Structure 1
Amino acid sequence: MVTIKDIAQQAGVAKSTVSRYLNGGSVSKKTKAKLDQIVNETGYTPNTFAQSLKAKKTNMIGTIIPRLDSFATNAILASIDEELRKKQYQLIITNTNQNIEREVENIYTLAKQKVDGIILLATVVTEAHRAAIAAVGIPVLLLGQSAEGLHTIVHQEYEAGFKMGSHAIDLGHKKFLFFTVPEEDKAVGQLRSKGVLDALRKYPDTFIEIIETNFSFSKAYEKAMDVLPATSATYVLCATDNIALAVMKAAHTLGLSIPNDFSLSGFGGYTVASIVTPSITTVKYPYKKLGALSVANIIELVEGKEIVSNLELPNELIKRESTVYLKSSK
């Protein structure tokens, strides 16, 4: 791997000159031309952004989001923006469209833009994420996904799943259909789902059919259209409110009635879930509080202060019209 020292030796200049050149500092035209040529020939790329970020504080915080069409993301962003403006910081937003490679790339991109810190609404945490966070040399705070050795703020996902599963059991249901997401998503696909299934499996006479989909409304709708006509479930649990809304649309398309044909619930506490008819039973997450806490914590990190490495936020079960006591088995 080519280093600054190698570049300096080839150019016959000091390492400090190379560093100044790489950071946009003043060097002679002749030296700059020589260094341009060597950098191009060697394909040199700095393996750390720390030196370039030492110059000055910018009062900019970068935020990486997984998608734009998400109630949860927009609620968190609105809170982050409000809190940053109060503290005279500017918000820079980058979207990844749920692409893991873009998520990692955006860590480097924001660092190059000299943000003071990054708030990452992570989908997963890979070794590439860890390498990028270590390389950029600025504070990074993860929201929604826990990761050992990194600063995170998460929801109590297992507890949320267990609440909802217990609610379904308490209503007397025995046959369940559960729309979940892939296990790569630790928060929803693992912890939330495990909470649901642990609650349902407390009783040996329950039947659970598990259907894997993703966070896309259209994909969940397609899955529901395939599965609902053949199911005998009296309760359909969905890993998110967005999936629950997709199932509701499929039920209407198929001429099924909620909650007469089956009860339905989701997770998130989206506003739209309270507006539709019937209103959807859900677990409400404190997105506004999450946004405010993320700002307070990232600024503490930027200022070099110690913070609790992992915070967990509680949630609330909201019982609505889409779930009812089971009157008779199908």
Structure 2
Amino acid sequence: MGPKEQGRLFGLLEGGRGIVDTAVAFSALGIFVLLGSGTGGFRAAIAFYAVIDIAVGVLLFLLLRTEPATQMGAQVSGLSAQPSEPKKQKAGLGEIWRAAKLPQLWWVSFTVFMVYVVYCGLTYFIPYLTYVYGLPVALVGAYGIINQYGLKILGGPIGGVLADKVFKGASRYIRLAFLCLIPVVAVLLLLPADPSRQIPAMIVTLLFSLIVFTMRGVFWAPMDEVGIPEETSGTAFGIACLVGYAPGMFAFIVYGAILDANPGAGGYHIVFIVLAALALVGAAVSSGLVRAARARRAVVEV
């Protein structure tokens, strides 16, 4: 896939991850139930996850290893006459510093950061629906499956198509998606806290989650849009992951502290207002990303 298809590439990747997550999670659940839903089943489920990790590691080792014999054959066939490529420098502080000096990398990093800090808030929809709307256990299970698995499978591909085909750039789509989250939160806050409004509340929260999953599916695509040099892309991705996924270390603590300090529906409403405010900040940050992508396109076209 080329540069104009990065959104769909990353979107399909996220959708594929959702399918794998669903298959593995339900398989582990099946093992847990099959063995009695007790300590033995729990241990077996953990062992299942360990076996999956080991198997994937072995497959990667076999599929991604280099083929020195093929390279030697290419040299014998005449490619050896070409000047040899310079040896790649080992990654170190110098390489990290070179990547860190790229301003466009920080626009990507902080955009991912804003998407992820909002994504962490999706966790609180189930307890909110249960506490405020009295969602029954059966609906909680169905909602959880749709919210955590179904939307992840759908969100990535949908985001990829929208980013590439409609908005002609993941950065532009992410900016608009951030803005779309704000009215969704407004509708959620305006819904009466009445058990008779369970279905509308579920629909609104699922819509919020779907938008976030579409963003998460394509939030790495702008790495190509802003022109991160290929020779430093690995280090750049490492820095971007460190910054972008940082909310996982503190977001849940912050949201939980808000709920502890404000028991009841009011605490959840404050969390949702914070999510809307973060979405507004995310729109501002992604606007910088859009400008960086525009500047990159201008240079390429010249």
In the superposition, the TM-score normalised over structure 2's length comes to 0.25
Higher relative contact order (CA 8 A, sep 6+): 2
Higher helix proportion (structure 1 or 2): 2
The TM-score, its normalising length taken from structure 1, stands at 0.23
More strand by share: 1
Larger radius of gyration: 1
